[in-house]
Amino acid sequence: MAEYTTIAPTGSFAQWPTGLEEEMRADQLNAAVGSTLVSETDKVRVWHLLIPTGQRCAFHRHVLDYFWTCHTHGTARGYYEDGSITETVHFPGDTRHLSYARDEHLVHCVENIGATDLLFTTVEFKHSANAPLPVPDEVRLLQPTAT
């Protein structure tokens, strides 16, 4: 099971790297909750999120109920819109379910601070309290075709 440690409390961006708070504000409406949207139906979106060692994903906004599963062992640092920072040791099979009431959301990014690549699958449920945010075509595995 994932081991979470809070290393910076809510309300302070003092421990964030230079420029990261501005990046978070610029990407706060980013709906790409993974590296690649691999499947989408009228009910779900299925994402893969690959974070190579020493890299981080872009800040993104969660508004839909979802769950993620980690496929690899590794260590991640999370930066959250409230200024908090967490460190998490992930294990293969770690799964976490999250849900949001109307007008609730989460903006964050994940940095891989471990020695191995991190790979996650995230499944978003489109029939949630909030409407799905639009996803840019460039993150889709298969680009829409013109008709």
E strand residue ranges, the chain: 3-8, 36-40, 44-51, 60-62, 65-70, 74-80, 85-90, 95-98, 106-112, 118-125
pLDDT score of 127 more than 90: yes
pLDDT score of 49 more than 60: yes
Q: How confident is the model at residue 142 (pLDDT cuts 50, 70, 90)?
A: confident
Span 3-127: which CATH code? 2.60.120.10
The predicted pLDDT at position 9 comes to 77
pLDDT score of 143 more than 70: no
Q: Where exactly are the structural domains of the chain?
A: 3-127
Q: Phi/psi zone of residue 23: left (φ > 0), alpha (ψ -120 to 50 degrees), beta?
A: alpha
The predicted pLDDT at position 7 comes to 84
Task: Quote the mean pLDDT of the chain.
Answer: 94
- C-alpha to C-alpha distance for 28 and 19, rounded to whole angstroms: 14
Q: How confident is the model at residue 1 (pLDDT cuts 50, 70, 90)?
A: confident
**Among 1-5, 97-101, 127-131, 132-136, where is mean pLDDT lowest?**
1-5
